[in-house]
């Protein structure tokens, strides 16, 4: 009887490992295909967008005294170009996950720089508690993660509320937490938000948080979201300190 139980247990573990392997393989294949498709789309969009932008700039130069309607149209085209460029950058962030260019980086300085340089609406207050921490990472990629989470938090609050940013070390990990005072995320969607093409934004690509997850995991870390007890949501990024001294 004991032998049967042991064999059954081993079979169950084997089946579970096989299922997990197949799921991971399917996920990797999905990411590979999506990455290749995204690269082609970006390449096809770059040239016509550059032509549109150049044409718009030339129209401004050769029209020294435009009327109000023309100015509005040119401004609208510039805004549309900026939006498209931003979407393309999101796709590139998703496709180009390169961890080879790592160096010792003060991620606290990176966060301070972003909080001082990103466009923060006047009606968004910032509260921060930032421990000084150095880790080995690709600084550009990690800043992309921080910037994405900050911008998402601001949008989740409809440009009005309190943004809380904390950085500390815990259990050999650098822990970065970014909280907002928005409506939060439905409990059933907390995992789904990191899947490719999932978005609740009208103009989003659904690749921003997917890129964040890929970047963080390529650095040996993890990222997750949790609704706050009262309102809003907190995104937590954990990155290994390794042998770095903070």
Virtual torsion, Cα 97, 100, 106, 108, nearest 10 deg: 10
Long-range CB contact pairs, 108-114, < 8 A, 24+: 108/132, 108/133, 108/167, 110/139, 110/142, 110/143, 110/146, 111/146, 111/165, 111/167, 111/176, 113/143, 114/143, 114/146, 114/147, 114/150
Task: Give yes or no: residues 65 and 156 share one domain.
Answer: no
Is residue 105 scored above 50 in pLDDT? yes
Task: Give yes or no: residues 79 and 148 share one domain.
Answer: no
Record the pTM: 0.63
Domain of 173, in residue numbers = 103-240
Task: Give yes or no: residues 209 and 141 share one domain.
Answer: yes
* pLDDT for the residue numbered 73: 85
Note whether residue 245 is domain-resident. Answer: no
Task: Give yes or no: residues 90 and 127 share one domain.
Answer: no
Summarised one tens digit per residue, pLDDT across range 23-62 is 444 454 555 555 555 656 666 676 777 787 888 888 888 8
Instruction: Pick the more confident residue, 246 or 159.
Output: 159
Task: Give yes or no: residues 64 and 148 share one domain.
Answer: no
What sign does the dihedral 76-79-85-91 (CA atoms) show?
negative
Task: Give yes or no: residues 123 and 224 share one domain.
Answer: yes
Note whether residue 229 is domain-resident. Answer: yes
Summarised one tens digit per residue, pLDDT across range 118-157 is 889 999 999 999 999 999 999 988 998 999 999 999 999 9
Mean pLDDT along residues 158-181: 94
Domain count, the chain: 2
Q: Which of 68, 95, 122 is the last residue of a domain?
A: 95
Task: Give yes or no: residues 117 and 155 share one domain.
Answer: yes
Summarised one tens digit per residue, pLDDT across range 195-210 is 876 666 655 556 688 8
- Number of Cβ within a 10 Å radius of residue 218: 15
* pLDDT for the residue numbered 206: 62
């Amino acid at each position: 009887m004991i032998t049967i139980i042991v064999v059954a247990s081993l079979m169950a573990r084997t089946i579970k490992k096989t299922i997990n392997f197949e799921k991971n393989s399917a996920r990797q294949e999905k990411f590979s295909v999506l990455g290749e498709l995204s690269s082609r789309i970006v390449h096809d969009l770059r040239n016509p967008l550059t032509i549109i932008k150049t044409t718009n700039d030339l129209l401004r130069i050769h029209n020294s005294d435009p009327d109000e309607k023309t100015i509005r149209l040119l401004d609208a085209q510039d805004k549309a170009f900026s939006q498209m460029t931003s979407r393309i950058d999101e796709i590139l962030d998703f496709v180009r996950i390169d961890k080879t260019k790592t160096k010792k980086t003060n991620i606290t300085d990176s966060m301070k720089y972003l909080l001082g340089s990103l466009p923060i609406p006047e009606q968004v207050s910032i509260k921060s508690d930032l421990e000084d921490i150095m880790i080995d990472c690709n600084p550009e990629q990690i800043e992309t993660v921080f910037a994405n989470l900050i911008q998402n938090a601001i949008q989740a609050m409809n440009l009005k509320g309190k943004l809380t940013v904390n950085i500390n070390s815990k259990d050999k990990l650098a822990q970065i937490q970014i909280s907002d005072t928005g409506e939060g995320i439905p409990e059933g969607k907390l995992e789904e938000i990191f899947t490719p093409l999932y978005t609740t934004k009208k103009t989003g690509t659904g690749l921003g948080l997917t890129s964040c997850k890929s970047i963080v995991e390529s650095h040996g870390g993890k990222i997750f979201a949790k609704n706050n007890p009262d309102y809003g949501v907190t995104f937590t990024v954990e990155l290994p300190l390794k042998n770095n001294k903070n």
